[in-house]
Amino acid sequence: MSLVFKISKNPQSKIAECDFNNIEFGKLFSDHMFRVDYENGEWKTGEILPYGNISFSPALSSLHYGQAIFEGMKAFKDTNGKPQLFRPLDNFERFNISAVRMGMPEISEALFIESLRQLVNIDQDWIPTKEGSALYLRPFMFATDDFVGVRPSNNYSFIIFCCPVNSYYPKPIKVKVEEKYTRAFDGMAGSAKAAGNYGISMKPTSDAKKEGFDQIIWTDGKEHKYVEESGTTNLFFVLSDETVLTPALDGNILKGVTRDSCIKLLKDANYNVIEKHIDIEEIAQAAREGKLIDAFGTGTAALIAKIETIAYRNERFELPAAEERKISNWLYKKIGDIQTSKIEDKFGWIVKI
């Protein structure tokens, strides 16, 4: 079922200018990108072309009304240097969930997966191999009608570009429990990876940064009582009896692929993982009693972002040192080893290019 795309090779590779040991996240782009347009109710022929600027009308409807969704995933090399993707079918499924919620057209599995494979194949020399590094892939779709009227767009573009990246959060982070703003509310689009969800998070996050924090912990919009996510990562807490708690997917929480990988690996190793509504008081009380032994965010970019400090109202809870975090260190290593095929992929998560 291999789809045929138009291919225009980049005559001037930039790879020689790239220092793979020192990459700033999201600033360096590989030589090629993929693009396919949606017109008259169907996806046209896709194209792999040199990475570069694209030009649109000022009336581009996604800029005004926000029909824009994206995915974030990674390509790795196995121990023989062959390129591979980690759980791309999960990103594909989530992409269509986001598309449906935002009134945008769905994309076929063949188009999503083949475009990724062919793009990564062409740019496979851009996959860094240092531990914790990868080729970050950014598939996204946005409305392209030149029309300033409120209705779903008739035309869309789907594009994928690639960024070589090193690990995202090198240090454990300080977070603050946010009780004023909220990320998502019942009936909104919290389970869609929609650009607007990020737009509304910028001010609360930069306010927290001014107070010396790296990220916020979102709480529910009704009572600001239940924890939801940390910034743009899913949240996990570990109690001293090694019970692992994570907020249940209730429609307001993004269904993270890394979250799911952590849950499956933990359950497979016989840990007690509980998905439920987590009252911030339960976490605070555990921390006060010295029973909160680990807390971390999970996401494709960071993989595991260990939390060192949680600020809640006028209390500050300091967590054990990073080296002592048995569970988050184990997960980080385990997932990294599966992604690079250093260990067996018993869940079938790897797709070879």
Ligand X SMILES: *Cc1c(COP(=O)(O)O)cnc(C)c1O
User: What's the length of the chain?
Assistant: 353
Residues that bind ligand X (rule: CB under 6 A) add up to a total of 14
Pick the binder of ligand X from 258, 328, 339, 340 (CB under 6 A). Answer: 258
Alpha-carbon distance values, 194 to 17, 66, 170, 197 (Å):
33, 8, 26, 6
Question: Should residue 74 be labelled a site residue for ligand X when binding is judged by CB under 6 A?
Answer: no
* Shortest reach from residue 202's CB to ligand X, in Å: 13
Those residues with Cβ within 8 angstroms of residue 207's Cβ, 6 or more apart along the chain or in another chain? none
Please state, as a whole number, how many other Cβ atoms lie within 10 Å of the Cβ of residue 39: 12
Pick the binder of ligand X from 32, 259, 306, 325 (CB under 6 A). Answer: 259
Instruction: Kindly identify the residues of this chain, within the stretch 271-300, that bind ligand X according to CB under 6 A.
Output: 298-300
Tokens matching residue 30: 């590989």
Pick the binder of ligand X from 88, 105, 128, 256 (CB under 6 A). Answer: 256
- Is the Cβ of residue 84 or residue 215 nearer to ligand X in the bound state? 215
- Is the Cβ of residue 72 or residue 132 nearer to ligand X in the bound state? 72
Site string for ligand X, 218-237 (x = CB under 6 A): -----------x--xxx---
The C-alpha atoms of residue 329 and residue 30 are separated, in whole angstroms, by 30
**For 40, phi and psi rounded to 5 degrees?**
50, 40
The C-alpha atoms of residue 77 and residue 31 are separated, in whole angstroms, by 18
* Shortest reach from residue 194's CB to ligand X, in Å: 9
* Shortest reach from residue 190's CB to ligand X, in Å: 8
- Residue 177, SS3 per DSSP: strand
Cβ atoms of 258 and 246 closer than 8 Å: no
- Is the Cβ of residue 48 or residue 74 nearer to ligand X in the bound state? 74
Residue 27's Cβ-side half-sphere holds a number of Cα atoms within 13 Å equal to 9
DSSP letter assigned to residue 67: -
* Shortest reach from residue 61's CB to ligand X, in Å: 22
Site string for ligand X, 76-115 (x = CB under 6 A): ----------------------------------------
Question: Should residue 257 be labelled a site residue for ligand X when binding is judged by CB under 6 A?
Answer: yes
- Is the Cβ of residue 31 or residue 71 nearer to ligand X in the bound state? 71
Reference 164, options 340, 23, 258; nearest CA is 23
Which residues would be at the binding site for ligand X (CB under 6 A)?
Answer: 72, 193, 229, 232-234, 254, 256-259, 298-300
